[in-house]
Structure 1
Amino acid sequence: MVRIIEVGGLSYRYNEDQPWVLRDLSFSVNKGEWLAIIGHNGSGKSTLAKCLNGLILPQKGTVHIGGFDTKNEKTIWDVRRMVGMVFQNPDNQFVGATVRDDVAFGMENNGIPREEMIRRLPEALRFVKMEQFAGSEPHRLSGGQKQRVAIAGIIALQPLIVILDEATSMLDPEGRRDMIRTMRYLNRERRLTVLSITHDLSEAVYADRMIVMNQGEIVREGTPRDIFQSPEFLEKIGLDLPFAVKLGHVLYEKGVPLTDAALSQEELVNELWTLRSNM
């Protein structure tokens, strides 16, 4: 496995007279992995996201992206070209008058040749099923459509890493499912490294691995199935368990012989159907 992100002893605070927002964080991410970083509001997740793309620099410790140290002024733009960010509110990312202009702006800003921009732009919009909205004003789109445009802008830049910073929190259930499907495809088919920073555990279940943060520290690390074996701990630090996980634990306690902890509604339905078929 090739490590694409390495964080060692990372600590950060916004003012010297305030507590540390991040405290001695150390972890790594493999190329092509989907890592979910979860925690309640105020646990330090968004500050960590800014450290990972060089918007803020470690006050203690190091952050290496693709082998580059974010503290190195000579290579910081190499780091930022490797990392694409999709934020909670896509309106804050739009700068173009039309969807086409907005996707093109990021490429132009990164110095991509015009011929290459012309090739990439329709491909990126087609990938997120937004080609018919190329001439539309971004602010007139629905929440789910806006996020797809934001993703198109990232796809066009072809980064190695995409960070979703609470990117699904303002979407309705269908928009959330659509975005997760898109990111799962990018992760699996294009081997894009995905970091999902969220307090929504129903989104985190699709990750390969999870890190749980609380008060600026990493308090748990493992696969989603491992993490959800301790539902009481997650609830204790203010995280709301996915419905399927809650129901699965209740059914197990009531004597239903479930063979494994279902993480999604689809998994739970399939397991119950299999159980019924074998009765």
Structure 2
Amino acid sequence: MDKLIEVNELFFRYNEEDQWILKGVSLFVKQGEWLSIIGHNGSGKSTLAKCLNGLLLPEKGSVRVNHLDTRDESHIWDIRRQVGMVFQNPDNQFVGSTVRDDVAFGMENHGIPREEMLIRLDDALKQVQMEAFADREPHRLSGGQKQRVAIAGIIALKPSIIILDEATSMLDPEGRSEIIRTMRLLNKEHGVTVISITHDLEEAIYSDRIIVMNHGELLDQGSPRDIFKETKLLKDIGLDLPFTVKLRQELQKQGCPLSDRALFQEELVEELWTLRSKI
């Protein structure tokens, strides 16, 4: 797969007197993948997210999106059209009096013709399963519905990449599940590249690849199965393990001969049934 984003030896701090927030971070993002960037509060993951679409610029090193350097002012709007961001609090993102108006707002700012805008609006709402709410007032929606509307506003602009910056952290379990289902659909069926910035490892298990950040540095990376084999490392930096992994470990401590493979509840149940059938 092509590399949509390439980060090379990225250093960033907000002021010259401050300590570095990001220290020599190098990574890439492949076209069509779901990449989770995890770490505790203060690890630099949200600052990194803002560097990926040019909201923040490197002090040292480089960030390239589709071969365009974020420090090149002539390309910054092209980059931001390719990289859409969904932030933590959906209420801070709404500007329209209805869902329809809100999704249309970004397209109006980009000068998209009305005929095209109407087609994109309907398509974006269908992709996040919010077409029935088009004439509702955004503030009357649930948390998960609000975030789906925010995602629809990004989808309508047809970015190559969507970044979720702690976008599920203020939602209840049902709302988080809604957003994960929506992003899986966009990623797997529509080919949207997804970057999830999160400290919720229950969310990260759905990604194709995980990058672990700690104190502004890239600590580890790999598939979810590889990352969750290194549970001591994750605990040492203050991250809570997914429920299935914790349950599996407790069962292993009690002498249950389970493998280290199961990440999802269905996988753990299947392995337990297999063991039971051998007894």
Query: Normalising by the residue count of structure 2, what TM-score does the alignment of the two structures yield?
Result: 0.97
Matching residue of 2:258: 258
Matched, 1:23 2:23: yes
- Name the aligned partner's letter for residue 75 of structure 1: H
**Are the counterparts in 2 of residues 245 and 261 from structure 1 also a CA contact under 8 Å?**
no
Matching residue of 1:201: 201
Gaps of 5+ in 2: none
Matched, 1:169 2:138: no
Q: Tell me how far 1:24 sits from its aligned partner.
A: 0.3
Matched, 1:187 2:187: yes
Identity %: 68
**Are the counterparts in 1 of residues 229 and 260 from structure 2 also a CA contact under 8 Å?**
no
The 1-side partners of 2:106 and 2:215 are apart by: 34
CA displacement 1:174-207 (0-9 Å, x = unmatched) = 1111110111111111111110000000100011
Structure 2 SS opposite 1:255 = coil
Matching residue of 2:14: 14
User: What is the alpha-carbon root mean square deviation over aligned residues?
Assistant: 1.1
Matching residue of 1:95: 95
Matching residue of 2:158: 158
The 1-side partners of 2:34 and 2:92 are apart by: 25
Gaps of 5+ in 1: none
Q: Tell me how far 1:113 sits from its aligned partner.
A: 1.4
**Are the counterparts in 2 of residues 202 and 264 from structure 1 also a CA contact under 8 Å?**
no
Q: Tell me how far 1:270 sits from its aligned partner.
A: 2.5
Matching residue of 1:133: 133
Matching residue of 2:106: 106
The 2-side partners of 1:218 and 1:49 are apart by: 13
Structure 2 SS opposite 1:97 = coil
Q: Tell me how far 1:145 sits from its aligned partner.
A: 0.7
Q: Tell me how far 1:259 sits from its aligned partner.
A: 3.2
The 2-side partners of 1:51 and 1:158 are apart by: 20
The 1-side partners of 2:217 and 2:30 are apart by: 21
The 2-side partners of 1:230 and 1:122 are apart by: 44
- Name the aligned partner's letter for residue 9 of structure 2: G
**Are the counterparts in 2 of residues 248 and 261 from structure 1 also a CA contact under 8 Å?**
no
The 2-side partners of 1:263 and 1:161 are apart by: 26
Structure 2 SS opposite 1:74 = helix
Q: Tell me how far 1:271 sits from its aligned partner.
A: 2.2
The 2-side partners of 1:107 and 1:276 are apart by: 56
- The alignment of Structure 1 onto Structure 2 pairs a total of residues equal to 279
The 1-side partners of 2:44 and 2:192 are apart by: 24
Q: Tell me how far 1:253 sits from its aligned partner.
A: 2.9
Structure 2 SS opposite 1:229 = coil
- Name the aligned partner's letter for residue 16 of structure 1: E
Structure 2 SS opposite 1:8 = strand
Distance change (3 Å), C-alpha of 1:177 and 1:11: same
- Name the aligned partner's letter for residue 72 of structure 1: D
Deviating 4+ runs (over 4 angstroms) = none
Query: Normalising by the residue count of structure 1, what TM-score does the alignment of the two structures yield?
Result: 0.97
Matching residue of 1:268: 268
Distance change (3 Å), C-alpha of 1:278 and 1:160: farther
Distance change (3 Å), C-alpha of 1:277 and 1:158: farther
Name whichever of 28-37 and 126-135 sits farther off. Answer: 126-135
Distance change (3 Å), C-alpha of 1:117 and 1:268: same
**Are the counterparts in 1 of residues 127 and 186 from structure 2 also a CA contact under 8 Å?**
no
Matching residue of 1:222: 222
Structure 2 SS opposite 1:157 = coil
